[in-house]
Structure 1
Amino acid sequence: MSAHRSSTQSLPMNRHWFVVPPLGGPGAPDRLKPGLHAGRGSWALCMVPRSKELPLNLTVGRACPQRAESDVFQARRAARVDGLALPGSWAECGSERHRTLPMNSVGTDGLPKPRHESPQKELSPREMRTTPSLTLLRGRKCNFRDAVERVLTRSWAACLLLLGGAYFLILLPVSAAPKGPDVKHAPQQPKSNEPVRITADFKSQPKPKQLELQYQIVDPGKYIAFNDPVFKAQWTSARMNDSGENGDSAAGDGVFTVELPSTIQKHRRLVRYRIASPDEKKVVAPEADDEQTNFAYFVYDGVPSWRGAINPRSSDAKLREAVTYPGQILQRVPVYHFLSHKASVENATWNERGGFGSGSRHEYLYTGTMVYDGAVYDHVKFRARGGVWRHAMGKNMWKFNFLGGHRFRARDNYGIPYDAKWDKLNLGACIQQGDFGMRGEQGMFEAVGYRLFNLAGTEGPRTHWVQLRIITQAEESPADQYAGDFWGLYLATENVDEHFVKEHDLPAGNVYKIEGYQGKLASNGNPAVANGSDVNEFLRASMQRQQPDAWWLQNVDLARYYNYRAIVECIHHYDIDAGKNYFYYLNPATRKWIVIPWDVDLTWGDHMHGGGYDPFFRTGLLSRSPFKQQYQDRLAEIRDLLFNPEQLNLLIDEHAAMISDPTGLLSIVEADRAKWDFHPVLASSRVMPSKAGHGKFYFGEPRSTFRSMVQYMKTYAAKRMTWIDRRLLSDFQPPSPPKIAGAGPGQFRIESNPEDSGSSVCRWRLAEVTDPESPSFNPRQPWKHEITALWEKELKSDQAAEAPANLLKPGHAYRVRARWQDASGRWSRWSAPVQFTAP
């Protein structure tokens, strides 16, 4: 302990500090026992560095506290992990940028468990106070003592451990019991004239003598923002009871109940509420440090019909004919409700414009309430999003920023929740820039483009379509089709940040958005530098033409770059040569950089903007051996398995069916066109005429339909396939592919391979594919695409391959292919497929 005496002298011992020597040092205990009992079954301890001036390694290591007994955590010894040593008076740590892992998500080796074993979810404010967790601080400079005192004020005790040379800050709840009650309302999303029961569970808390519910009614068109003076004043009180009467389930059980009568529930009404103690004259739930200061529910009776014409003022009777779109058709796409002041909405999307490059463009000046899937996300900040043409089209893009502890739980196009919640929600306008002549593709360019990147093995944003309904006025569906709640079709696009990294199963590493060949930090890894020195050095070095092969192999994930570059060529994503529209991510495990695609709207057309010269391509990397051969091999494989007419057309059809009816019946794409093709704002002073304008849907052909855009994508892709083969693969000369055939149930063999002696290696692959003509086809399930292999195996070319029976589902369609390797080590292209249906 002598080594620690000097540093413990200045520590506030009344703050629950407990000092132990480093593990493995003299007198080190096998177990770290409780230093102070602050409540039943809870304890706190802390270890301090040897010197105030000692740099700390705050590192994800193979060691962490483990629960060995009910009130004892065992610290397991581990080898030193090389992390980032950050100098500072106490430590350099990022109190605002940290990673918290619930203890039950940490394995016996101290590393996070695989997601399928223990899904890592964002902790609610209440869970943050009751879940033992390992928190790793890194990033910006701050005073260590301030950081610890900050967590102590949130009912946490801090523990700093030295494990194998790396320091860990561990946060444990001071009290085993939750600080606040568990508050719920039912039903989750009530309808008009339904009573709502609200309960506050104090079973594990000291039971208060009395409680009251304070609620606030927000009617449509009369939004109350958090910073409005009326927000603090306009609350109504109702007594809660634990008497077993008036809706309370049992007397004296610690669960207080109040029932809001059916008369309060009105269609499109937002009801906020909170729990207060009249005795203490304060709100007890939500807790004081919860960023969302109230709970809320939204009353909704369902999406109504909407009526609109393509052009109400047209001389063409067909175009001015008003069509009714039933609610059941519109709500086939998920419905996002957003409530705010009318002025706030119009200012954000049309009126207030910061100059390009101005910092004000990134400020969230307004707040509103987002409602989706029965959940209310209150006091959400929002602004317009986009680059140069942010306000140019009239139907503009949105960006929403959710509160900490209340991140957005999004679902994909099939209703499946994403693994990670979203901190920010990007909504693309599905409108296209008018002067490129592609209006009416309705976000298909981006949705299919990003899906191709992901299928090819390059992490790209997830996307899904939504119906946006904005409530700023009393009437939901007025006679004026350009007013009311219905704002049409938008494309939700995953933000590239720390949640993106988690969603795509990547290690927590630095992510930078590249703008003008400059990197802006989008997510700070753990541990990683926070001053941009890593990306600045990489940007400088990666643009030098004379870098040796070894540098590229050491610093760039070339396999992923080949995937990225292949899809760039497939969809003509060429708006990247000004050093923008992509992110760089540094994988901390491999120390290699990965390119993440972004802003892929100007694609699927040779006339779209840009020359396609990303920095790696510009150096001539892909014209050098062996990189050229490796890239061509991967590009050819993507052509064989994904970017071919059969597989790509299925992918396009899959996405088109999400927003339209394949048989030509009414759908939301027709409603969106009626809303926006001749919307007054598209010909107003609020837009740029060349980018906006009336009558530009479907190549400007008034009687054309969305199906023409779908067919355009297929036709363009076919031309692009020919271009790739002639321009990028013309000198690619791999061995001829083998021919394969069935050799019995589930067995396959090489039928002919004239260049093979019989002793070469053959690689087999099995993939499930969606066959829309199959009896097992379910359009409500995600489609399967051949590029995603279920099984691969290498065998001698004279050996038969057998598809593993345990991977096959009866009635499902599968494809088998093979390729072989010649004596020089070159692989052939994949054979033609053999398709079968599992019995």
Structure 2
Amino acid sequence: MATLNGEVTGAGNASPQITFYWGSTDGGTDAAAWQHAAPAGSSSGTFSRILTGLTPGSPLFYRAFAQNAAGGVWAPKSQAFITAPTEAPTNIIINEVHYDPLDPTKSQEFVELYNPTAADVDLAGWKITDAVEFTFPAGTVIPAGGYFCAVQSLAAWPAVVNKAGPFTGRLSNQGEIIELRNAANQLVNAVDYGPGFPWPTASNGLGPSMELLHPNLDNGLGGSWRRSVTNAPTPGAVNSALLANASLAPPAIRSVKHAPEAPVSGVPVTVTATVTDPDGVGSVILRYQMVDPGAYVRRTDAAFNNAANWTELPMVDNGTGGDATAGDSIYTVTIPAAVQTHRRLVRYQITVTDATGIPPEVPGNSVRVPYADDEQPNFAYFVYNGVPAWSGAMRPVAFSGNAATPIQEYSPDILNSIEPWHLIANEANIINCQYGGSDTAKFLGTLVYRGKVYDHITYNVRGIGSTFVSGKNKWGLKFNRARDFQAYDNWGRPYAETWNSLGLNACASPWASVHRGAAGLDEAAPYRLYELAGVPSLRTNYVHWRVIRRDAEVNDATKTVTGDPMGANIRGQYSGDLWGLYLALEPTEGNFLDERGLEDGNIYAIEGEGGDKKHQGSTQPATSTDWSTFNNAVKATGASARNEQWFRDNMDLPALYTFLALNRLTGNTDVRPGDNYRYYHRPSDNRWVIMPYDLDMMFIAAHHWGGTMDSVVVAGQPNSIRAIMRWPALALEYRNRCRELLSLVASDATPAGGQFGQLMNEYARMVNPPGQPLTWADLDAAMWNLHPRSQGGGANSGQSSHRGNFFRATYLDGGRGGLDGTVATGTWIRSLPDPDNDKFSDHEGLTQWFINFST
């Protein structure tokens, strides 16, 4: 452990953000040349940062960098020192941490201290700080060789004797520094833990705590910790993972990296890992597995664990074979250039053994990483030379009385204008997922995004009533524990919070084929509109979706492909990696709240009147009784009907007014009394906040399903409309909000005039930039207009006649579901400009139609 210090001598106009760059060699003023970067926050004076997990007795260099809006500057020179040698602890240490309990409502977090000395220690005035805050009261004593816990709740651990609390705050599930300071505020011990490798993965919400293997080990190293063996914490008692002596611990390994991160064909890849052990390191062995396109290997396949499918290479720390510096504990190996071929996935694992002379088969002497509790049992990289051009036609053949159109080539520049996402998977699984008829089956695959590999994730087809309606179906992705997805928005900015799952909507308007060709505009822009108007709303970003299921990445659009399960004797344009344009949906879970700085409360998806809990608030019911109680109260009639004040006290009425008003403005007709929206239960005032969801049936000039409320048949409304139906004062407030939004958003129909026109055109430019003859809107239409899996017979009428109807100039929307099963809703005609009189329009025509609809 070491504390780096510095001082800003001149802040300029704003306090800069400070970063310490550090490593075993001096990187000077080149950030890329340093091995590590550690943020130290914002400061206009002195600043510091604690480092843990350092290699004992080794040289360490560091240099500070400060940056604000005016620019950045490095410290005048790098500093250096020798880290302390490893010794048995002579003071209190952090011994067990439970930061992410299985049930977040039970307040079971704790930090356990251990006293390795032969004397009792008075903890009065000592502090747990930085992560959570707690000062031990007078009379607190930790016995010699004993334990003491700082707990989130005293009541949560009734059997633990040596405890004090509650502490203030919560331990971060994403990792942070826990500091232990004595009564003189001197740093005694610190642990900078994380939610996954090299720290225990199962401790991240699966139930176990993380336990130190032995008090003589460096507790700043993730490799010195394991999940509790009993799958349950052991506060105030001997760790279940405790080893008889520290020499039985395998080497600690961390900072596993490969370079380049996203290699191309024919380039060697260097893998490095920092490995240390008080007994010395005996061997470090990397083994790699090659997964070629069309031959995907799942972790459940026998081929994954078959030793014959892995190639072993020794890693060295002797200054040869690509190793930069001998004896710096950074072990290196180079994977030969010939291994790197286009579209190949390369997985690797590392096995480390100490130098005690104990045979490798003795437990505790050797370990392979990632550790056994990691749901991704390997590291990986993806070899890719770049997206190739793609060729296709809107109508490769005449269809439904309309002539064939010419094949056009879409350049790599067009395709790369939206970031590619690659799903690598077994072909039979892909077809079964998307077209097998089940929306519950989960399959294993690998996602690659921005050069990062998310291996062994699960994917499935999404949807309830619309799952298989269009043929271009939705996807759901679920990521492994402690290996969350880092998403970026449409402008290339990273989201502050990572995602553990996501949905991909198909830009296909399953029950609104009248909008085919909109390229997701009819969904993405409304989500943003709700948020701009003050309603919590998920964010979306466009996705260039590619699926590697066969050996060929692209096929000749003029040729016929046989043997592709996508369809018998299909055109080459439909057989290859390119799948089309999709829309990633931000999950409405804990990340959603943290991204917006909202309180930790329950979030429900409302379907069939039931609340499908998407996030559990730490202070709210673990069951769904809060939702059912609220919903029943909203619907109560007669003597049980709630009065006006109840609605004011229990609902976020401004959010409700805005939600309902924008539903009307954008034609969100698929809202039903108990379906197709979400609710957030805000803890501080107990109010319920309605949120939009399932916006794939927008801009519809007709009623859809509805329900009877207070003896009135109501279309396209949630149960909470009752507040406005029953109470004139609330109805007036709602109408006033409608007037505000009409004035602010929809008073100007010109593309660059009113707020709505600007919003629609901002999103339209993402998929259909003006002045470009071919765009993503055209590409997606060419891929799916006559795709063999697209549904429909070609008629320009009905809710689900997708095939052949992209950019259809005149479309007759079919009769929609009856209101409350009793009232027919009729049909309506949507017309777009058709200057060449060929019965088809374009994306510009659809965009303007949406603007006209709402203004």
Are 1:513 and 2:605 an aligned pair?
yes
Distance 1:604 1:199, change over 3 A: same
Match of 1:58 in 2: 107
Q: Give the letter aligned to residue 380 of structure 2.
A: A
What is the alpha-carbon distance in structure 2 between the residues aligned to residue 305 and residue 252 of structure 1? 48
Counterpart residue identity of residue 717, structure 1: S
270, 277, 280: which is aligned to 1:197?
270
User: What CA deviation, in whole Å up to 9, does each residue of 1:621-667 have, x standing for no partner?
Assistant: 25524322332333333233333321111111100011112124211
The partner residue of 1:670 within 761, 775, 778 is 778
Q: Distance in 2 between matches of 1:105 and 1:594?
A: 35
C-alpha deviation, 1:596, in angstroms:
1.6
**Are the structure 2 counterparts of residues 84 and 713 from structure 1 closer, same or farther at C-alpha, using a change threshold of 3 Å?**
farther
1:406 corresponds in structure 2 to: 483
Q: Check the 8 A contact 1:274/1:295 in 2, yes or no.
A: yes
Residue of structure 2 in register with 1:211 after alignment? 284
Checking the alignment, whether the CA contact within 8 Å between 1:337 and 1:371 is kept in structure 2 is yes
Cα offsets for 1:366-425 (capped at 9, x unmatched)? 100000011000001011001112012111000010001111101000011111111112
Match of 2:229 among 146, 150, 153: 153
- Rounded to whole Å, the distance in 1 between the matches of 2:193 and 2:595 is 12
1:587-626 alignment, distance < 5 Å: 587-607=682-702, 609-611=704-706, 612-621=715-724, 624-626=727-729
Alpha-carbon deviation of 1:528? 2.1
What's 1:259 paired with?
Answer: 334
Return the alpha-carbon distance in structure 2 between the equivalents of residues 632 and 198 of structure 1.
63
Structure-1 residue corresponding to 2:360 = 280
Alignment of 1:481-630 (within 5 A): 481-545=573-637, 546-607=641-702, 609-611=704-706, 612-621=715-724, 624-630=727-733
Other-structure match for 1:642: 745
For 1:180, what is the secondary structure of its paired residue? strand
Code of the residue aligned with 1:375 in structure 2: it is K
- The answer as to whether partners of 2:506 and 2:583 remain within 8 angstroms in 1 is yes
Pick one of 431, 435, 440 that aligns with 1:346: 431
Question: Are residues 536 and 74 of structure 1, via their aligned partners in 2, closer, same or farther at CA, if it must alter by over 3 Å?
Answer: closer
User: Is 1:325 the equivalent of 2:410?
Assistant: yes
Measured against aligned partners, the alpha-carbon deviations of 1:43-100 in whole angstroms (never above 9, x if no partner) come to 247999xxxxxxx962899xx999848999972489xx9999899999xxxxxx9963
Verify: 1:248 aligned to 2:323, yes or no: yes
Give 2:383's aligned amino acid. Answer: V
Which residue matches 2:67? none
Cα 1:511/1:60, change in 2 over 3 Å: farther
Letter matched to residue 851 of structure 2: K
* Distance in 2 between residues matched to 1:404 and 1:532, nearest whole Å: 25
Q: Which residue of 1 aligns with 2:93?
A: 43
Question: Superposition RMSD on alpha carbons, in Å?
Answer: 4.4
Q: How far 1:469 moved relative to its partner?
A: 0.5
**1:389 partnered with 2:484:** no
Change (3 A) 1:474 1:548: same
The Cα of 1:620 is off from its aligned counterpart by: 4.5
Percent of aligned pairs sharing the same letter: 31
Q: Any idea what SS the aligned residue of 2:807 has?
A: helix
Pick one of 164, 181, 185 that aligns with 2:254.
181
Matched, 1:713 2:850: yes
Task: Give 1:617 deviation, angstroms.
Answer: 4.4
Asked if the contact 1:516/1:579 (under 8 Å) is kept, the reply is yes
Q: Deviations over 1:733-770 (max 9, x none)?
A: xxxxxxxxxxxxxxxxxxxxxxxxxxxxxxxxxxxxxx
2:504 aligned with 1:367 = no
Give the aligned length: 629
Deviation at 1:523, TM superposition (A): 1.1
Cα contact 2:768–2:776 (8 A) shared by 1: yes
* CA distance, structure 2, for counterparts of residue 508 and residue 520 of structure 1: 17
1:133-152 equivalences in 2 (<5 Å): 151-152=227-228
C-alpha separation in 2, matches of 1:67 and 1:219: 57
Determine the structure 2 residue equivalent to 1:300: 384
More helix by share: 1
Change (3 A) 1:42 1:273: farther
> 1:257 is paired with a residue of what secondary structure?
strand
Question: 1:332-382 CA deviation, whole Å, 9 max, x = no partner?
Answer: 01110010000000000002x23xxxxxx3342x10000001100000101
Counterpart of 1:572, as a letter, is G
Q: Distance in 1 between matches of 2:274 and 2:89?
A: 20
Confirm or deny: 8 A CA contact 1:270 1:297 kept in the other structure.
yes
The CA distance in 1 between the partners of 2:368 and 2:514, in whole Å, is 57
Distance 1:597 1:192 in 2: 45
Letter in 2 for 1:564: F
Conserved 8 A contact 1:157-1:172: no
**Structure 1 position 420 matched with structure 2 position 420:** no
Q: Distance in 2 between matches of 1:400 and 1:649?
A: 33
**Contact 1:385/1:397 (8 A) holds in 2:** yes
Aligned twin of 1:220: 293
The amino acid across from 1:237 in the alignment is: E
Letter in 1 for 2:386: G
- Give the match's secondary structure for 2:395: coil
Deviation by residue 1:488-508 (Cα, 9 ceiling, x = unmatched): 100111122222222222111
Q: Is the 8 A contact 1:582 1:596 kept in 2?
A: yes
Match of 2:550, SS state, is coil
Amino acid at match of 1:681: R
Greater alpha carbon shift after TM alignment, 493-502 vs 316-325: 316-325
Q: Are residues 143 and 249 of structure 1, via their aligned partners in 2, closer, same or farther at CA, if it must alter by over 3 Å?
A: closer
- Whichever residue aligns with residue 285 of structure 1, its letter is V
1:466 match: secondary structure = strand
Q: Which residue does the alignment assign to 1:699?
A: 808
8 Å CA contact retained: 1:335, 1:468:
yes
SS at match of 2:266: coil
The answer as to whether partners of 2:352 and 2:368 remain within 8 angstroms in 1 is yes
- Partners of 1:212 and 1:560 in 2: CA distance: 58
Contact 1:465 1:489 in 2 (8 A): yes
Q: Structure 1 423/154 Cα, relative in aligned 2: closer, same or farther at 3 Å?
A: farther
CA offsets per residue over residues 294-332 of structure 1, 9 Å max, x none? 000001111110000111112899843110000111110
Query: Are the structure 2 counterparts of residues 106 and 539 from structure 1 closer, same or farther at C-alpha, using a change threshold of 3 Å?
Result: farther
1:623–1:71 distance in 2 versus 1, CA, 3 Å = closer
Q: Which digits, 9 at most, give the CA deviation of each residue in 1:533-583, with x for residues without a partner?
A: 111111111112421122112211112222222211211212122411111
Q: Relative to structure 2, which stretch is displaced further, 438-447 or 342-351?
A: 438-447
Distance in 1 (CA, whole Å) between partners of 2:764 and 2:178 is 39
Distance, in Å, in 1 between the alignment partners of 2:546 and 2:469 is 21
| Structure 1 residue 676, shift from structure 2 partner | 0.5
- Mapped to 2, the partners of 1:82 and 1:275 lie a distance apart of 37
Q: 1:708 to 1:554 in 2, by over 3 A?
A: same
Unaligned runs of 5+ in 1: 1-36, 49-55, 91-96, 109-120, 162-170, 355-360, 719-839
Structure 2: stretches of 5+ with no match in the other structure: 1-86, 99-104, 114-122, 138-150, 161-169, 182-191, 214-224, 354-358, 557-571, 707-714, 749-753, 810-837
Aligned partner letter, 2:388: P
